[in-house]
């Protein structure tokens, strides 16, 4: 079972937490990650010799009640000193300030797999939130938002050494262990760690829940499992094939995972997806999506994203035919660009992208004011709405822009619906303006029923607890 070292990262800065030095042992030792100070560790480990006669404190029993494991953990702890960390294990991508005018490539090609890599490039961007969490004790009576053990019957992914018995060391191996024929709902549970691989989830006949280990599933800030890869379009033939997670199974829910594409920026064929959500009836809750260009491809069918973080620079929320509702999303820009790029190409296309009750801001204070836009039209019937959303000063006064600003370039604004309702903050029309003349301010908000259907509350893949 793998645990990350606790680091708390706040908007605008990083705050370190005490960490113990360690000798040669499992670098993510479960017990060690649970210890908050050397005093506690020294006091307990000096008297604990693997004997059941010594009471196990709650912070240790949250990891394991096995004397052998606790003794092993104590043997790995150097209680003589401590260090303070000032870096986050959250996924980050390189940042630059140039804007690409290249369009997303065809994203509807049949899926194909890409071989995984054993390493990813080191990156230097500031992080918004931690991919680890200070760990506290959990018991069988833990509240329902504590997700630190796999439910019965789940496929378990654990890349640690030693690992959870019966688990798989990579996410793809866990996916491959799912039954393609059963109609019984399946669960994939991912223990803490950084999994450097590309993951392809094919169509199954069952509902699928993918749950990352967390102490608080109500927020993305304590996510402890990260899947990261580094492909761009210049390496492959279409957008989908660049994605770190390629999700082709309908009726799927993701919880508390960080998904990153760390490729960064190049001026041509630089599209690099974190998540390719290619089928209908998908819900993403408490996730972090990190990329640069085209971070999230929400491409087909009904999709819901809630209480999550989406990071990028260029067209980093985009797609062609999806009806997507994004609720309570922290959208963070890392360089000059546009948040959305709708590929709705005809009036008959049902696609909507509605960002509701969310926030748009720079990843840190280095992002200049007025250098970002809410969206640009990939196709001429683009349809995007921002409502009840905080807009920081990174949003330009015009709010929206044409597809290409090059001389003779396509503007694609003839039939767009670029709309806002009751947004606020220094980047809103209340404090800026005028907005682009091809955009509008709505008289009433768009309802979730009009996007996901009147019976959305009854859908299995819709988790209403994230829509409060």
* Eight-state DSSP code of residue 451: H
For 252-274, b where at least 16 C-beta lie within 10 A, e where not — what string? bbbbbbbbbbbbbbbeebbbbbb
Q: Are 375 and 344 in contact (CB under 8 A)?
A: no
DSSP letters, 90-114, are S-----------PPP----SPP---
> Quick check: helix, strand or coil at residue 234?
helix
28, 315, 327, 330: the catalytic one is 315
State the first-to-last Cα distance of the chain, in angstroms, to the nearest integer.
Answer: 33
* Eight-state DSSP code of residue 436: P
231's torsion region: left (phi>0), alpha (psi -120 to 50) or beta? beta
* Eight-state DSSP code of residue 140: T
- State the burial class of residue 339 (Cβ atoms within 10 Å of its Cβ: 0-12, 13-18, 19+): buried
> Quick check: helix, strand or coil at residue 328?
strand
DSSP letters, 29-57, are -HHHHH---HHHHHHHHTT-SS-TTSPPP
Both structure tokens of 259: 């998904």
- Whole-number Cα distances in Å, 354 to 305, 337, 359: 10, 19, 13
Q: Is 315 a catalytic residue?
A: yes
CA 418 from centre of chain: 25
Q: Are 104 and 294 in contact (CB under 8 A)?
A: yes
Nearest to 120 by CA among 9, 27, 173, 195: 195
Both structure tokens of 435: 């907005």
- Whole-number Cα distances in Å, 307 to 84, 86, 248, 286, 458: 30, 26, 22, 5, 20
Nearest to 330 by CA among 15, 10, 104, 93: 10
CA 360 from centre of chain: 16
How far apart are alpha carbons 123 and 391 in whole angstroms? 27
DSSP helix, strand, coil percent of the chain (3-state; round to 5): 10, 30, 60
How far apart are alpha carbons 174 and 195 in whole angstroms? 12
Both structure tokens of 359: 């926030």
| Residue positions annotated with a catalytic role | 315
């Amino acid at each position: 079972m793998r645990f990350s070292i606790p680091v708390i990262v706040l908007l605008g800065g990083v705050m370190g937490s005490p960490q113990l030095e360690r000798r040669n042992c499992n670098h993510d030792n479960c017990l060690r990650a649970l210890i908050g100070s050397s005093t506690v560790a020294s006091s307990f480990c000096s008297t604990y010799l693997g004997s059941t006669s010594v009471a196990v404190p709650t912070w240790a029993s949250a990891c394991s009640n096995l004397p052998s494991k606790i003794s092993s953990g104590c043997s790995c702890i150097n209680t003589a000193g401590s260090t303070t960390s000032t870096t986050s294990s959250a996924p980050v991508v390189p940042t630059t300030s140039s804007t690409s005018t290249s369009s997303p490539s065809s994203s509807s090609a049949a899926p194909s797999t890409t071989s995984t890599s054993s390493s990813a490039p080191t990156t230097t961007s500031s992080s918004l939130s931690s991919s680890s969490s200070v760990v506290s004790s959990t018991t069988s009576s833990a509240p329902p938002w504590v997700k630190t053990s796999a439910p019965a019957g789940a496929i378990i992914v654990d890349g640690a050494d030693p690992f959870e018995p019966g688990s798989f060391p990579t996410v793809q191996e866990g996916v491959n262990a799912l039954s393609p024929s059963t109609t019984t709902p399946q669960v994939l549970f991912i223990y803490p760690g950084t999994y450097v691989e590309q993951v392809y989830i094919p169509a199954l006949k069952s509902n699928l829940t993918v749950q990352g280990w967390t102490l608080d599933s109500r927020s993305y800030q304590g996510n402890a499992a990260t899947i990261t890869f580094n492909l761009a379009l210049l390496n492959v033939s279409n957008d989908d094939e660049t994605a770190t997670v390629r999700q082709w199974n309908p009726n799927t829910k993701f919880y508390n995972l960080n998904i990153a594409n760390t490729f960064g920026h190049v001026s041509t064929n630089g599209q690099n997806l974190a998540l390719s959500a290619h089928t209908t009836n998908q819900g993403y809750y408490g996730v972090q999506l990190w990329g640069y260009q085209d971070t999230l491809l929400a491409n087909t069918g009904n999709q819901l994203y809630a209480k999550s973080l989406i990071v990028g620079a260029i067209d980093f929320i985009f797609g062609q035919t999806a009806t997507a509702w994004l609720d309570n999303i922290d959208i963070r820009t890392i360089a000059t660009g546009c948040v959305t790029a709708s590929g709705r190409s005809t009036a008959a296309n049902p696609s909507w992208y509605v960002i509701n009750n969310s926030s748009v801001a720079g990843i840190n204070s280095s992002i200049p004011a007025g250098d970002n836009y809410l969206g640009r039209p990939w196709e001429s019937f683009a349809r995007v709405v921002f409502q009840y959303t905080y807009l920081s000063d990174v949003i330009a006064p015009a709010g929206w822009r044409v597809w290409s600003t090059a001389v003779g370039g396509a503007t694609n604004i003839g039939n767009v619906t670029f709309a806002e309702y009751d947004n606020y903050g220094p980047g809103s029309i209340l404090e800026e303006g005028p907005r682009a003349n091809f955009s509008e301010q709505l008289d009433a908000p768009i309802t979730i029923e009009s996007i996901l259907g009147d019976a959305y509350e009854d859908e299995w893949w819709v988790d209403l607890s994230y829509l409060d």
